[in-house]
Structures are given as structure tokens and as C-alpha cells.
Chains A and B, each alone.
Chain A
């Protein structure tokens, strides 16, 4: 396989692109009865001003997933930073259920900082958790997200995913020949955006390796769509495919050893699986219609894909190594169903859905393949590219707002929504990372 490591007209960069200019979150729909929580500004005992406000980051984290409502700082009767300063009464009369406090110190004889946090249940008057986290000043945001994870899990019983990241594509510029395409990575909330790849030719379909170290994507940098895998930390990349015609939709298997993909080298787009260890290519589907958008079942034994073999896109499933007539059709009740992936339960199928021929609107929906119940999660009209948070709590997807591509997220019960508005360009094709350490 031919390696292409450096190409003219192509910019590899791991530098930040000014996170403020990129994305910032806005809550568009919250739950009716959010949990009241007081998050006191963390005290700082060192010199100067810290670059990050930990309490504010935790507050943003918890509010944007919709389950919480944070108390305004101006309404606080006291601002404790450690347990002995806490008077439960101060918080009970403000009708708060939970309290988070903390303080930040310079670690002895080092450039590192120590963040001590403590988390309390006001009604039961007890401390639920607390620890000291150590890191550099540039890691304050990571430490804040870690604290958010602890609080979220204590209250909801679900692990938090606030340390997770997203990949997405940005298209900027007007006209087909004047657009710059970027593959970017940021925190799940859009902060700390970095450019991983920039090109004058389209970039598509980013997806994470299960260990969170690599990204597979499609780049047209050679004038043709070809699949690449790039190490996120080092920027090192290699071209994985160079077959004739379409090479697209790369998706890592759950164990990370294989890459499902779409190739049209034999006439029409079909699903293939390439072994990343020995480069062996296995054909999964062979049908003259379009087969595309592969995803893996949670057990890694089958591929879910979209095919228009009956005339319109519908969702099918096929075990690896099965014959083409052993394909199982999963959707029947939509005009078009596409881009499907199972939740970890292997029963609920997230997909893009267009109900009728008459109404060309596309929503994100979940189909339970046992009960056949369908839950529509979105009400905008051009929703696509759903991707699941690593804790299974939310789905991020691409849609249009004021004529521009934006990323939205919705909880899997549909109750909570937030949006990452972009100030520049079309943002699309989000891919949510696995849990990162």
C-alpha cells in the first residue's frame, strides 16, 4: 500500500485554532425539574489569576446536559471552600439539593497545582465524595471535567462523559472551488479546538479508533476519495486504501483490529472489511444497488448498513462471512432510513429517518428492533450523522441552523438538547470519542 505522508497543498497542524472563535454551547431544551445544585467558586491560594474557572466549567457541564440547574453565585449566602466552612442550613433555605466546593493550591516545590474538591448532599447532611487532583495549569479544564464526571455519576448513577472529545469536519468559504476543509478535534463542548488536517479538497467521515488514539477518515487530497488513518497525538498518518472509484465510510471494529469500509471497485458501492494487521480485504455485501454507511454491532460479528436495493434507503444487517441472501432487513416503516448504529444494548438502533416521500425532512430517531417502537428525537429538518456519547446518555448530530451547518446534541430520551453554534463555516459529521483517560 502506497504511503503518502506529506503532500503539497495540505496542512498538518496540531496547533489550536483559537477555541473562542470556534464553538460554544447553548442549551436549547432542558428537563422540567432539574436538580438544584450550588457550585461555589473554588478558592485559589496562589499568585496571579488562574486561566480557568473550575466552578464555572463544572456548572456549564452539568447545566448543558439538562439534568441540573446551578445556583447563581450572587444568591449564595456563604462561599465555603472546605468542609469546616459548610453550614447546611445556608443551602437548605436556598432549596439546594447538592453542594460542590473546592480550593486550588500550588503544589509544594513544583509548577503543578492541586485541586481539592468536596461534594455534599444537603438534605442528608453528608459528604458524598472528595479528593485532591494534581495537574499543570493547562490541565485545569480536564480536572474540572473530571469533577463534573464525579458529580454527575453520584446524582444520576450514570458515568459522566465530560472528558470526552469530538471530531468533526468544517467547510469554510463560498463556492465549490473555494472551500477549505478541516478535520478538527475539540472537547465535547467545543472548547480547545485543534485542526488535525486542512485541505482544499473534501474531507469526510471521521471516526475514532476504540482506544481514542487514531482517527480514520476520507480525504480527496489526491483528487479521489481515499481512506487514511491518522494518529491524533503525533499527526502521523498513512493511506489505507487506493482502490478504484469510491473508498469511503471507514469505521473501526469494536476491538480496533479491522476497518469496515465502502468500496465501489467492483461496480457499485459494497461493504468490505479490511484487517488492519495483515491488510486482508473481505467483501461483506455484493449487490448491484448502493450499500453504504456500515457500522458494527456491539459484539463485532455483524455489520449494519444502508442499502437502496428496494429502491429507497433502508437498513440491513449481515453477519461477517454470511451469504448475501442471509441479509436481514431491519427497517420497513419509513420512506428512507439510513446511517444506523446500535446502542450498546444491541436492541435500540439510532438512525436517520425520513418518514414519507411527500415530506423531505430528516430526523434522528431510535428504533427498538424488538418492540418496533420508534422514538423521534429531533424536530429540525436536515438532521444527519448521529454519534453516541461514550456513556450512552446523549446523541450528537449535524443539522442546519440559519443556513449553516451546526452540531446539536439530544439526550437519548429526547428531553434535553444543546447546540454548539459555530461562528465560522459549516460544521458537520461529528464523531464522539470513546471514554478517554
Chain B
């Protein structure tokens, strides 16, 4: 119950900040106020604060430009450093209900192919769940795993492997 409440509050914050994001930059000051006041009551760390809004927009744009997320070997959880970026992606989906994306999960070639297919899905699902918790709708996101079938870089070395363990966000 409690966690649901938090999610609801968080979603309200996201919805409001999404409204803010939709406004043109000319009335930024004006729109920022309600967003910041409501966010103060929720414990959402990523909610924008009033004076930083244009910077916040830039941050959001930069975040949305990152569409490939890399993973450690045999690990299905995305890296902690990608959390903020993924939050921006989730908010962008929440703000644009007509937007659809595809999360394409990949693995490096070590391990068996069918296991890697499953690992790629597990990685993509991790990001899917995070995005849904952060405001995206489940129906906006399609997940597909390619396992080790579509390497970004061929070769039997750690550099290639690191580039191949990834989830790509693809606009549909």
C-alpha cells in the first residue's frame, strides 16, 4: 500500500514536470513554480527545481541522446550511473503518451546462445521495469532480445564483449 502511494505521488510529480517540459521556454519561470512546490512534498530526487529548469531541459535532452546502455559480464542489472539517464527516458515517455520505443537486449558471445537470448531479455526487462516505475506506460515499450546474434563489434576480446553487452533504446 505504502509503496503504491509513493509511486502515485511520484507519478504526479512526473506528470507535472512533464507539463513543464511541454511549455515553451518563454514561460518557464511561471510554469516552474507549481512543479517545484509539489515536488517538495514528495521524496523524488530527480524532480526539477525552479531556477535550474533550462539547465534541466538541457540535461534531459542530453540524457535522451544516450540510447545505448552497457552491462557488466553476466549481470542483468543496468549500471547505477545510468539511473538518472533512464529516469529522463521514462519521463519523456510519460510526457509523450504517443511515443513508442523498443528496448533491444544483447549479450556477448560467451555462454550458450539460447541462454544469451534469455539474458538479453532479462537486461531489457530490467530497464523496462525501471521506466514503468518512473512513469512510462507498459504499452509504450516493446522488449526484444537478440542475445548474441547482433554483436555491435565482432572479436574475441574484452573491448568487443563490453560493447556487445547492451540494451538499445530504439524509437518506433
Contacting pair A292 B110 (CB below 8 A): no
Residue of A with least CB distance to B106: A176
A403 vs B119: C-alpha distance when bound (angstroms): 23
From the candidates A175, A204, A223, A268, name the one contacting B113 in the complex (CB within 8 A): A204
Binary contact track A248-274/B, C-beta < 8 Å → 1, others 0: 110000000000001010001100000
Output the nearest chain A residue to B102 by Cβ-Cβ distance: A223
A379 to chain B, nearest CB (A): 16
**Contact of A293 with B111 in the complex, beta carbons under 8 Å:** no
Taking the closest CB of chain B, its distance from the CB of A323, in whole angstroms, is 23
Q: Which residue of chain B is the closest to A202 with respect to CB atoms?
A: B149
Within 8 A of B (CB), among A313-334: 313
Q: How many residues of B contact A (CB 8 A)?
A: 25
**Contacting pair B112 A220 (CB below 8 A):** no
A window 284-338: CB within 8 A of B:
290, 292-293, 306, 308, 313, 336, 338
Name 8 interchain pairs, CB-CB below 8 A, sorted by A: A176-B146, A202-B146, A220-B146, A246-B121, A262-B114, A268-B122, A292-B117, A338-B112
**Of the candidates B114, B150, B151, B156, which one forms a contact with A339 in the assembled complex, judged by CB atoms under 8 Å apart?**
B114
CA distance A292 to B122 in the complex (A): 13
Is B117's CB under 8 angstroms from A403's CB? no
Min CB–CB distance A112 → chain B (angstroms): 44
CB distance from B112 to the nearest CB of A (A): 4
User: Which bracket fits the contact residues of A?
Assistant: 35 or more
A360: interface (CB < 8 Å):
yes
Partner of B115, one of A171, A293, A382: A293
- What chain A residues lie within 8 Å of B11 (beta carbons)? none
- State how many angstroms separate the Cβ of A309 from the closest Cβ of chain B: 12
**Given that A306-B112, A360-B110, A382-B156 are contacting pairs, would A225 and B150 also be in contact in the complex, using a CB cutoff of 8 Å?**
no
| A292 / chain B contacts, CB cutoff of 8 Å | 114-115, 117-118
CB pair A264–B115 under 8 Å, yes or no, is no
| Bound CA–CA A384/B117 (angstroms) | 14
A34 and B145 alpha carbons, distance in the complex (Å): 47
Task: Report how far A313 CA is from B156 CA in the complex, Å.
Answer: 22
Q: What A residues does B113 contact at CB under 8 A?
A: 204-205, 384-385, 428-429
Q: How far is the CA of A429 from the CA of B147 in the complex (A)?
A: 14
Which residues in A have their C-beta under 8 angstroms from that of B146? Answer: 176, 202, 220
CA distance A336 to B119 in the complex (A): 14
A339: B residues at CB distance < 8 A: 112, 114
Q: Are A385 and B121 in contact (CB under 8 A)?
A: no
Contacts of A368 in B (CB 8 A): none
B110 and A246 contacting across the interface, CB-CB below 8 Å = no
Q: Which single residue of chain A is at the shortest CB-CB distance from B168?
A: A176
